[in-house]
Every structure is written in C-alpha cells, then in structure tokens.
Chain A
Amino acid sequence: MMSDDPTGAQRTYAATEDEVLRIEHLSINFGGLKAVDDLSFCIKRGEIFGLIGPNGAGKTTVFNCITQFYKPNEGAVLFRGLSGEMENLVGQKVHGIIRKGLVRTFQNMELINELSVIDNVLIGAHIDFKVGGFSQALRLPRAVKEERAMRERAMRALDFMGIAELADAPMGGQPYGIRKKVEMARTFLCQPKLIILDEPAAGLNDVETQQLAQSIRDIREKLDCTILLVEHDMRLVMNICNRICAISFGKFLACGTPAEIRNDPKVQVAYLGEQEKED
C-alpha cells in the first residue's frame, strides 16, 4: 500500500491536527466526461465549510465521492473520524462511512412516509444499536431498554429542532419545512464528527432559511462537529460559512473566507457574475 502512490496522497497522512477532511487530487470520470478534475481542499475542525459552484460544477459528485456512493478514479478522501486517525475513505463500504463519524443529508430528504416522525429520526441511530437481532425479536429486557434509550435520544433531537409535538405523527403528509427538520434530526442523531449537507436550503422560504442557518450553527455548537455545506443559496453560504471552496466544471477555482470568495475575479466570472445578471 505504501509503494506506488501516483497521487502522492500518502505523504499527507500526517496532516495537521486540526484537519477533519482533506480531499487530495480527487478525479472521477463518467465515460469521457471529467466530472471532477484534480480537486483538493481541506476542512478544519469546527468549521462550517461551503462548497459552491454553478449548476453542473460537480458539487454533488464531490459529495458522492466523499461518502463513497461514487468510487473516484484517482485521489484520496482523508477523514479524521471517531478513531482520531486520518484514514482514507476511498474503497470503503458505503454503509460503513457513517460508522467513521461522517453522515450526510439528501437534497430530496429520503424520508420514509410510512413511518412516524420519531421512527424516521430513529433510523439515524441504526448504527448505535448494540443488542442483537434475536434479543430484539424476543423483546428481551435489554432490547427494550435500548429501544427506550434511543427513543429518548430521538425525542431530544426532535425537541432540539422544535418539533417534539409531532413525534408520533405519520411522516407522510408533513409539510416540506418539517421534513427538512426531521431529516436534520435524523442526521445528527448518531453524533457524527462531520455532517455533509446537500443543498439544505433548497425549497425553503426566507424565514425557513434563516431558521436553518441558526439550527446549523446550533448543531455545530452543541455537537462540537464540523459541517460541510453544498449549497446554491449564496446568501446562506456567505452568511454562515467560515470558509468556502468554489469549483467550476469539476475544477478548483478558489478557497477562502466568504469575503475573499466574493472578491475573487475567477469566482465572479464563473458564478456570482452570472447570478447577478439573472437577478
């Protein structure tokens, strides 16, 4: 493993202590199309980090490469998870990623309408159940105890999002804003180190977006975790992010504070310029 590393990812395993995620020379092709091309950036502990870019820039592809839904052709995704060591996520099983302490949300939320709100949140605690299947099937005391403890935790999560009174309501038929909150609760229930939000503000009105910004900050504070945000809503990104990475056509444009990104000529041409014309 140590030999023959064309991307040079190995040397960065000894990354600085405060880095949580480091993307190294990430590339992925779909047929002839280079969706992500030699992209590198890093996220520091406790940051709210934004990944922005015009439509088709490859934001979601980067996202899927980090969470291993796509397997990148080249490069490394180094993550400092619950173990405290930097490890490469590339090649790991998709369902194993959350156990490292990295959890994601979905643009379309992917909630289960047939379950109640609290059961949807409890799905987020799937990996934290320790009691085996047989004990659960026979409803042994320890399974009952664990289920109750998890339910209380899910209740606190719902309370945190301000929708505790909806716990037993069916998920189907809940309005969009509520669904977003439920998904958020599901996401942080397993107490992850890094949360990746895929366009969390999509479809929200101004008031809801402001509430969202506040709850993202709250989650970061309360859980002491890091947040990576992939987002279209520039106001949200500029408002809450500590640092931003801008990409276009799968290529790195710039990385820096919101002010730096706003004033970066390359970014303005690729993204903000167009946005202003549209407005």
Chain B
Amino acid sequence: MKKEQSIGMKIWTNHYFRFVLFGLMLSMLVPAVSGGILKTSFLGIVGGTIIFTIAALGLNILLGYSGLISLGTAGFMGLGAYISAYVTGDMGLPWEVGILAAVLIPTAIGILVGLASLRMSGLYLGIVTLCISEIFRKTFDELDVITGGFSGKSANYPTLLGMIDLNQKQTYILLVVVLVLVMMLTYNIVHGQMGRAMHVMRGSQVAAQAMGVNILKYRLIAFALSTGYASLAGALYVHFIKFVYPSTWTLMISLTILAIIVIGGLRSIYGTFLGALVVYAMPDLVLKRIPVLGDINGLPYVFSGVLIILIILFYPKGVVNVFSDLKRLFAKLTASKSSAAKDEVPNDVG
C-alpha cells in the first residue's frame, strides 16, 4: 500500500527524524536566551519540563501501556538524584558513573517492587508504591551522612568524559539530547513485541497468558523501565538544579507526574511532553503573571486539578489529541465545503 513513498516522505515519516527535529526545536531556546529574546529563567522552566517528561514517560509505560499504577515516582527520582550527587560529589567519580549508578540501583529496587506487584493491583499497588516512596523520603531526611539531611545536598553541572565542564546552557542541551534518546528508546519499546505484550497485559490478562505472555516478566520489565526513567530524571535534576532537598520528593511530585500523563495523553510520547508543559511550565510561564489571581498560593495545583477533571470528563484521550481532532475537523470542513459546491451544480438525477 505504502510502497510508493518518495524519499523525502520517507524521511519525514521517520520517527527518529521527528524526534531529532523535536530536539532541535527545544535547543533553539539556548540561542533565544543568549540573544536576549527570552528570559534566562525560561531555561530552568523548560529544563524542568524535560526532566519531568522523562520521568512521566516511564510512568506512561507503566500505567498507560501496562495498566499498573505507581505513586512512588517521586521517591525513585529522589533516590536517583541523591545517588548521583553522592557518587560525583563525595566519591569524586565521573558524572557518567554517577548517572549509571543512579539509574541501576533504583531500577533494581523497582524490580523488587514489581515482584511484589504480582500479588496486587489498582489501589493497593498505588498505596504500596506510595509507602515505598515515603520510606525513601524519610531515609533522605535521616541518612545525613549521604544525603545531607534537611539542609540538602548540592551537586555541580556535569563534567563530560572527565574534561568538558558544562555550564547551564550546555547542561540544558544535554537534557534535550537525553530526552530525544529516551523518546527513541520508548518508541522502539512500545512499538515492538514488548509494547504489544504490555498492551495485552493491560487489556486482558487471560488473553496475554493464552498467547504466551509471561505476566511476571512483563510486569518486572514495566517496573524496571518506569523506575529507571524516574531515577534518570532525578539524576539529571540534581545536576541541572544543582541542589536537592528531601522535602522535594513528596507525593505531590508523584501526583504531578500522574497529572502530566493523564492531561497530556496516555500512551503518547509527544503527549507526555505536552502534559509536562501544561502541568509544570504553564503555572510559571502564564499563571503567575495573571494579576491578583497569580498571587494565590497553590494556584498551579488548583489549575492542574481542575484540568484533570475536565480532561477525564470531556477529553479522555488527552491534550495531544487536539491536533488530530483539529486536523479531522479541518478535513471535514473542507469536505463539506466541496460537497456543498457540488450540490449547487444542477442535479439531473433527482
């Protein structure tokens, strides 16, 4: 059917190409900030959005594709942040080692949670993951030899390969590169055998088993990926914000990430970024600038709460579907116009 594509069309529909293009668009922020078109604070906001997108992509694999809930994303993000800060700071090891340790250790713990998850689902799984997250947070408070306790822990911008010291703008570019890689990885995973196995595990456990899908194995994969993404996001966070407090990693962060994928669109990679933009960046960029209303404390939470209700009630596919719906609407409008034009032609049949 689609064999007659031109080379240009082939490149345009290539997903890698689109992700790279997306990354290039995000990188445009750096010259915009350097040139004085946008404020420097934009860098921090969009960088934060990227970090939240990475964590939310992991939750999207877990919740969107596999149908398993986790309210423990914040705990794993924090764990990643602290491990990377400790390994690069106190132990003096390279940034690459830090990030590797910060991803692998939480992922291993995530697999253990996955093992426990086989016996429960839904609300109960939510509660258990929430408890695990709170245990982590309490540990960040108490284990001050490693975490610095209440006063927090600082870290530096990454030093690549032990020699290239990055500044904030370059770190931002690094975030974009990691995001693009994570998006590609996610795309490959969810569009292959693994993604289908996760789909069928969510849609019908009996069908999954009958088709030879090992439920335990795929639950573990889903948990490993989700905690791996979350801790990667945490490790990037600590080297971008340069500071980490225990009080950051509360339930609020986990719920924000949940809000991101619900609002942006379950099972959508670009939707996850869009959701992060709406939930994380919108309050800082737009809401706080509204007079009077913007001064209300906690307005962002009200905003995302109301948005979640509206989206679930009226637009369950998420904000990302606005584009395809608009496209369809446009096609419909042009089609009805042309058919209306046809009707004006005298009709000799009827």
Interface residues of A (CB under 8 A from B): 67, 69, 93-99, 103-104, 106, 110-115, 119, 122-124, 126-127, 129, 133, 136-139, 143, 147, 186, 190
Contact = CB atoms under 8 A, between A and B. Distances in A.
Interface stretch (B42-50, B128-136, B199-207): B199-207
A95 B209 contact: yes
Given A95-B212, A95-B214, A119-B196, A136 B189 contact: yes
Given A126-B193, A136-B189, A143-B192, A112 B212 contact: no
Given A115-B196, A133-B194, A136-B194, A124 B188 contact: no
Contacts of A114: 199, 203, 267
Contacts of B208: 95
Contacts of A136: 188-189, 192-194
Nearest to B64: A114
A129 B193 contact: yes
Interface string B254-267: 00000000000001
A111 B199 CA distance: 10
A113 B200 CA distance: 10
Interface of B: 185, 188-189, 192-194, 196-197, 199-200, 202-204, 206-215, 221, 267
Dominant SS at the B interface?
helix
Nearest to A102: B210
B211 A94 contact: no
Contacts of B212: 95-99, 126-127, 190
B211 A98 contact: yes
A67 B203 CA distance: 20
A117 B144 CA distance: 54
A213 B200 CA distance: 28
A138 B185 CA distance: 6
Chain A CB within 10 A, most for which of B206, B212, B213: B212
A112 B203 contact: yes
Contacts of B202: 112
A190 B192 CA distance: 17
A113 B203 contact: yes
Contacts of B200: 112, 123, 126
A110 B194 contact: no
